[in-house]
Structure 1
Amino acid sequence: MQKVIVAVALSVLCSVSWAASKVVTLSVPGMDCATCPITVKKALGKVPGVVAIEVEFEKREAVVTFDDTKTSVAALTQATEAAGYPSKPVGSAK
């Protein structure tokens, strides 16, 4: 019985997908007032897997750190678009 438990525990540990943090910069050209970044940050913050968000109004960009096992760049851009601020990645996710 003990061997079975150990075998099950090992198989679970071996099959776990380890999360990798990714960082993406999103261009959000529709931010045209000082309160827009607040709305963008709130929208991104509701996406499961988002770890950190920095929104720069002057650059019209949002830098998002996220868990790639829980979300994707597509989900992030969908969140900003749903909030009224279409976005697109500036480069590839790192």
Structure 2
Amino acid sequence: MTCATCPITVKKAMEGVAGVSAVTVDFAAKTARVTYDPRRANAAAIAAASTNAGYTARAIQN
């Protein structure tokens, strides 16, 4: 992410995945925290949505 609109694009892409209920993007850290229903979505699908929007992402479980 390099500009102020990048986090908005990432957030919208991730929110478009069925089962995602909340997305918080940290521009400075270049990370996103996502709350989702694991019965309807998974971390790989959410990361893929960001990648497909032009922002490479990978899932990190904590």
| TM-score, normalised relative to structure 2 | 0.93
Q: CA RMSD in A?
A: 1.0
Count of residues in correspondence between the two structures: 62
Gaps of 5+ in 2: none
Dislocated runs of 4+, deviation >2 Å: none
Whichever of the two has the greater Rg, that structure is 1
Q: Deviations over 1:14-59 (max 9, x none)?
A: xxxxxxxxxxxxxxxxx11111000000000100000111001011
The answer as to 2:34 corresponding to 1:64 is: yes
Q: Deviations over 1:47-86 (max 9, x none)?
A: 0000111001011010000000000011001100110001
Does the aligned pair in 1 maintain the 2:43–2:59 contact within 8 Å?
yes
Of structures 1 and 2, the one scoring higher in RCO (CA 8 A, sep 6+) is 1
| TM-score, normalised relative to structure 1 | 0.63
State the identity %. Answer: 45
